[in-house]
Chains A and B, each alone.
Chain A
Amino acid sequence: MKSIKNIITATLFICAMFAVTSCHDKLDEDLENTIYAGQTDYTITSNMIVPLLGAYGEFQDRGWEEFPVIAVRGDDVNAGGLGDQQDFAEEDRFNYNKDYWMFNSVWQNLYKDILAATSAVEEVTAYREFASDQALADQYIGEAKVLRAYLLLNLSRVWGAIPIPTSSDPTELLQVEPSTKDEVMQFISDEMEESIPALPAVRPNERTDIRGGVTRFTALAVQALANLELKNYQGVADATSEIISSNRFTLESDYYNLFKLKGKLNNENILELQYSDFGSASGDNKAYLFAFFGPESWEPKVAGAGGGWGFYEPSLKYIKFMLSRGETTRLQTSVLFTDRGIAEIQKDPAFATLPGWVSSTTPSGDKFNNYNRAMFASGKHYLPSDQLTPGRADYGTNKNFTVIRYAEILLMHAEALTQGASGSGMTADQAVNAVRSRAGLGTLSGVTTDQVMEEKFAELAMEWGVRYYDMVRLQRYDELSYEGRNFTEAKIFLPYPQAQLDLLPALAEN
């Protein structure tokens, strides 16, 4: 009995210990549901597009607060949304609070996407070695660099000196010294120069692999924008001349619908953020949060369509400027009126009588009611309710967000030429008149820089702060000092967000 017991126990014990010990190799198991970058098989070059699509994904996933922070300070637009987001209204009036959450959020998101694009550059570079089509690898790298460049451009236009990432590792950024705005712009221009040969010389909507993606002309456009900031007008003209001479782009004749569904992947677009509800009433929906721009109260033609928050109000200055010029197409497209807003315009004796078309009902039949937050809404960020996919109700959903369009290229071209640069493809007059005739205006000859800037004001209002950065660059601070504002050179850049100063003490020295 005793011995049986001992044998049983001994066996049990030895088995147990042995079995337990043999579990040791389980400790080396990798984590579940994890894609180890280190295990990527870079020889499968058909996957080379995956990191690039990742960069596009991040580029098109833009927070609602970013565009307003970038774009609100011009004399074309006011904050709107009074009583809400006080510090956003203060930004519009050039009183900056470095503790304001929106500033920090915009900074973080831009950097996040800059790093995502950088990571795509690194990944595609790893595939390149094994790619049979190395030119394709170079193209992808170029595309990611263009996306990154556009984000860096915005970051530096808003804050001035910023650190330029050297790799996709966010910790490295903590060691990088900030570059001045001019250095950033030069960096962008050089990177574009380097990328241009690798990129296809087609219109974005002519691409078949990534339709609407970056092409050579996108890179040239970003290069032109960077050189414009540098006031290197010859650099601008060189880039714009090449775009114009390609003869690939045309101005969409229907200006109103350029900013609606018809504008999706339009022949005029050079860079745009693409969104889609995939044609279905429910389910997947990739959308920009246009509600920010929407009216707080409206009677949409299609009942049930959602309104918005009442921010981003076209300025009276812009409206009166346009009315004085006798503009119809561009004003009707850019500005959505409320009855309260119309009455406000008419308080000015010079505008007591308005053209008959000025109405709180849009050409598409949506009626904008009076609401407290704002008097006007941005028409370029509005999708008529009858263009929504039936069943969808979010304001502006399924609409793309245009970033750079051919009209801006033409006007940059014209400005560079009037500033003394030489170019090809079009003269300054031709470029300006192309834009004017589409807007139903007569032609000009011997255009001056001032006329070009007025044209830019009329054509590109509400779009990406173009007006603000132009006025800052040309030091026309008086234009920005409108409706009670007082702009000075000290107000050009936003202060670094406090959270970033805490993180990057090197910023404080700038």
Chain B
Amino acid sequence: MKRLLLMALVPILLSITAWGQTERVISGKVTSSDDGLGLPGVNVVVQGTAKGVTTDAEGSYTIQLAEGENVLVFTFVGYKTTTVDVTNKTTADVILEGDVTSLEEVVVVGYGTQREKDLTSAISTIKTDDIVRTPTGQAMQSLQGKVPGLQIVSSGQPGASPTVRVRGLGSYPRTDVVTGAPLGTESPLYVVDGMFFDNIDFLNTADIASISVLKDASAAAIYGVRAANGVILIETKTGKFKQKAQITYDGYYGVQVAQNVLKMANAEQFTNMALESGSASDIANIDAAMQRYGRSRVNPNVPDVNTDWYEEVIRTAPIQNHTLGVTGGGENTTYSIGASYFNQDGIMDMPNSFERFTMRSRIDYQANDWLKIGGNVNISNALKTGQDEVVLQNAEAWKVAYFAVPIMPVYDYENEAAYPVKYSSAELIGYRDGKNPLPIMDFNRNQTRQRRVLSNFYVKVDLLPDKLSFQTTYNLGATFQNARNVDLPYFLTNDAKNLISAIVKKNETTYNQIWDNVLTYNQEFGNHYLTVMAGASFRDESWEMLKARGEDLLTPFQEKSWYLRQANTIKTEDVDDDAARNYGMSYFGRVAYNFNDKYLLYGTMRADGTSKYQTKWGYFPSVGAGWVISEEEFMADIGALDFLKFRASWGRLGNDKITPQTGAVTQRVITTAIDGTLVTGRVKEPFGSLTWEVTEEWNVGLTARILNDRLSLDADYYVRDTEDLAIPVRTITGDTYLRSVGIVRNSGFELALNWTESFASGFSYNIGANLATLKNETRDLYGQPYIDGGTAEFQQRTRVGDPLFAFFGYETVGVYQNNAQIEADPVAVALNATTPGAIVPGDFIFKDNDGDGVITGEDRVILGSYLPKFTYGVNLGASFKNFDLAVNLMGQTGNKILNRKRGEIIWTPDGNMDADLAINRWHGEGTSNKYPSSAGLRKGWNQKMSNYFVEDGGFFRIQNVTLAYNLRGTTFGEQWPDTRIFVTAERPLTVFDYNGFNPEIPDGIDTQTYPIPAIYTVGLNVKF
């Protein structure tokens, strides 16, 4: 798109032909530093004159110079102006550097484009170079730490998308009622070449030209009801007119290495904990382990086994991506065709991987001077293994590896009954279940195949040349997902077995269509520039699912027989289908007005109709204004300041990702056994009546370019109020239903600074820094003081004045060290009086916040939120001659993590625990004021939700280090293809205090997340 506009500008900039006396001729080729290709249309002017030429389609030029004309100035929109001394030269090849800070740059906004200079809203754009540096299958991952106000929470699971939050949390995070899996209702809208998506895991990162984050309401409001969580616009690569075909290979290969592996208690520490637990059965289990596996020669009171289960389940895993593309264009056509292959194995040592093959083709054709047509098809075929798409759960194995007891070996050949592998089972030494993750890894075969097609076709008609155009676009996003889970039969012990093999197949089809019709009008009169856009859009989103379960496979170990008919029984109760179909109808418009590049006015309006709720129509306006103060006369003298613009905007956005509501009582089907027959009944369901959430946002900001454009600065402050917040209200039955009952405010300050400098020696560097603050505050719950969420045991409370879903519980202030301390504390004395021995040394001291002498529910306080209050990123770049280096750093503070793995002890206390807890437990006066005793850990008193379970989630990370070498040269007069060789270290270092594997937990509740590995790659980029 950018190129198209540039082409249009070229004629205006065309200069006059040479004149006067000819002394000499100089020629050369102008290429772009971006891609090494010839740049057509570059203005080549003799310094101090109006004399000049433009480069041809190949980027070549020839200019005649008069005596004394020794300096040429090369200018081209979007590139840095370059001055070359051509004294005594007859040829001068010039490489133009892309000018990323250029305000002339065209930015994609919804249903159109705008010059960055003209923006009144907060939009951050990331270009392909910054995207491809991150070795990942998930494009959004590469934005981590680069855009202030955009929080990316990574996932280590191959093929899993990161959690993305734009400017805090404006919607209540919801999870699937049955599986607890996040529904992503708070995730932003992705618009890929005009089509709406909920995630972009199907896109090859190297195919993306740019990602624009529309952060504020003024920018996003054009997407109305889908915009409240922020909008992310993605443009895929296109060809250019009059461009020679360019063949590109882009690829890397690397390894993923587990980072910050959590240190678990070893056999000795675990044995100590068990012996001090006061639990006869746990002590007996230790004895049983010593009988079965012998006594350690080092410490004869410890079993002679010391299994590090993480070591058993983790591997170093490969990751690779290869992209091949051809782009180019003729007089009337541009094309971009390519294919890619991505493969990533998970670091869990079992079949778990993400493999993706994509193909794309994008062709635009200028049929005549008023008609343009084009089509874009992107096909993606991905296979995920080792994760359960049927019930949306991660491999259970990570969880079991955490709790697996270290006093047990991986294999136990004495266990005669075990088949098909003689794995050990903790049941053999007295535990309730197997506590061995290996069978879970071995005897589940889950995979999901996901085939996606994204496609757009458009017809654009210029009604009045360069003024009025009409475009109609049909967009299609189709996803075909086939999941297959197989549980293989195995037996270790009675409670670690799966006797009946099973297969579940689940097929889903998502077929979303959008039909957009847009009229665009540009007018320019004097110093007034006006753009008006109006459009209508129809949306049809459909989803269908069919699922069945077969049990007792005839040949369970033959993969080719994993089909339903190969099972003895089809479980009728698990045969299920479902569907959803939602329609949307929208009208929208935009007016952008610019007076003399000094005063900017901007307004959008969208009316959205939906079939999802009882309220059918919503209206989403926005306005924005900008004042380019540097254009004012009185600012003309401030030399260092090249550009300064103040911006302000306001807008309303909607969120319709909330579950569609019936607005009526519905019924649910239930089956039961009556006299040995399966019968079906129905039960009424409570209902919620909802409308979409509406977010209202103010944004003020400034954009500045200082010191010859070397320093750029963007600062924004926003206040974002989400009204009609749909909140799950817990009922007495434990069910929850949604009510539109809240207002939540997100507010924050964002700053992005960039400094670039180049030296004649060929050295250049840039330093960028960004930071964002976030305050998430519940403003109103329609009169209620609070609404409870989370589970009953690990409560989260949304209270007016505090963040959404804040952790809520008791405050520990230490651990009782001795009886004297207990006797001095009225709380403990009172409790011991009614229940002797209720409090003993080694138990937590809780803070009696209401001072009534007893610890009751009234003493609970807000313990913190999982949303970081402060996030920052630093980007460093340097290049010298053929080398360039880029370093990204990022971090966050102010968020909390609920260590639910430690919390699991309230249900099952006999599993292993992290070494920090085992070593630093209280085990006598003065040993710990932080953790209770081993016996104390098992007591209800100490198991209350408290700040013991809620830990600091801040971290600092070296996100990415990339060092590249660019090969340039000739052999036998032939120019080498542009070749770039690079090495990358992704996340080589993360620093944090949290007692877990990784501090990136999307909802702050760490039950068991897939650890996020460090990745080291080598890559190659060749252009022919």
Contact = CB atoms under 8 A, between A and B. Distances in A.
Interface of A: 5-6, 8-9, 12-13, 16-17, 20-21, 23-24, 26-38, 40, 49-58, 60-61, 82-87, 90, 95, 97, 99-101, 104-105, 107-109, 111-112, 115-116, 119-120, 122-123, 163, 168-171, 173-174, 210-213, 265, 274-276, 278-284, 286, 291, 296-298, 303-310, 371-373, 391, 393, 497-504
B581 A32 contact: yes
B577 to A, nearest CB: 8
B938 A83 contact: yes
Interface string B466-501: 000010100000000000000000010011010110
B277 interface: yes
Given A9-B470, A95-B835, A119 B683 contact: yes
Contacts of B571: 282-284
Report, nearest first, the 10 A-B pairs whose CB atoms are least far apart.
A53-B681, A108-B734, A283-B569, A54-B681, A372-B281, A83-B279, A97-B940, A282-B551, A57-B670, A57-B672
Given A12-B461, A13-B470, A307-B494, A281 B552 contact: yes
A53 B680 contact: yes
Contacts of A115: 733
B681 A20 contact: no
13 contacts: A5-B370, A12-B470, A17-B517, A21-B536, A29-B581, A35-B682, A53-B680, A61-B672, A84-B432, A101-B906, A119-B684, A122-B684, A503-B732
A276 B491 CA distance: 24
Interface in B661-687: 662, 664-684, 686
A502 B909 contact: no
A8 B611 contact: no
B610 interface: yes
A297 B429 CA distance: 10
B793 interface: yes
Nearest to B739: A171
A33 B500 CA distance: 31
Nearest to A279: B676
Given A33-B578, A36-B662, A282-B568, A82 B671 contact: no
Contact of B838 (A95, A101, A123, A265): A95
Contacts of B734: 104-105, 108-109, 111-112
Nearest to A162: B732
B599 interface: no
B208 to A, nearest CB: 30
Contacts of B792: 99, 101, 104-105, 497-499
A61 B670 contact: yes
A498 to B, nearest CB: 5
A54 B670 contact: yes
A445 to B, nearest CB: 41
A107 to B, nearest CB: 8
Contacts of B417: 303
B538 interface: yes
A505 to B, nearest CB: 10
Contacts of B284: 372
Contact of B732 (A21, A95, A111): A111
B980 interface: no
Given A26-B611, A38-B664, A171 B686 contact: yes
Nearest to A86: B938
B795 interface: yes
B857 A502 contact: yes
Given A24-B585, A37-B684, A372-B430, A498 B279 contact: no
A54 B939 CA distance: 39
A20 B673 contact: no
Interface in B517-537: 517, 519, 536-537
Contacts of A101: 791-793, 906-907
B18 interface: no
B543 to A, nearest CB: 9
B270 interface: no
Nearest to A29: B611
Given A5-B461, A279-B676, A112 B735 contact: yes
B672 A53 contact: yes
A307 B616 CA distance: 56
B730 interface: yes
Contacts of B681: 49-57
B683 A54 contact: yes
Contacts of A105: 734, 792
Nearest to A276: B673
* A16, A38, A281: residue with the most chain B Cβ atoms closer than 10 Å: A16
B573 interface: yes
B88 interface: no
B558 interface: no
A52 B670 CA distance: 11
A53 B678 CA distance: 11
B572 interface: yes
Contacts of B519: 13
Contact of B675 (A168, A174, A212): A212
* B676, B793, B941: residue with the most chain A Cβ atoms closer than 10 Å: B676
* B371, B470, B579, B684: residue with the most chain A Cβ atoms closer than 10 Å: B684
Nearest to A171: B731
Contact of B674 (A54, A56, A498): A56
A68 to B, nearest CB: 14
Contacts of B731: 170-171, 173-174, 503
Contacts of B908: 84
Contacts of A13: 470, 517, 519
B1005 interface: no
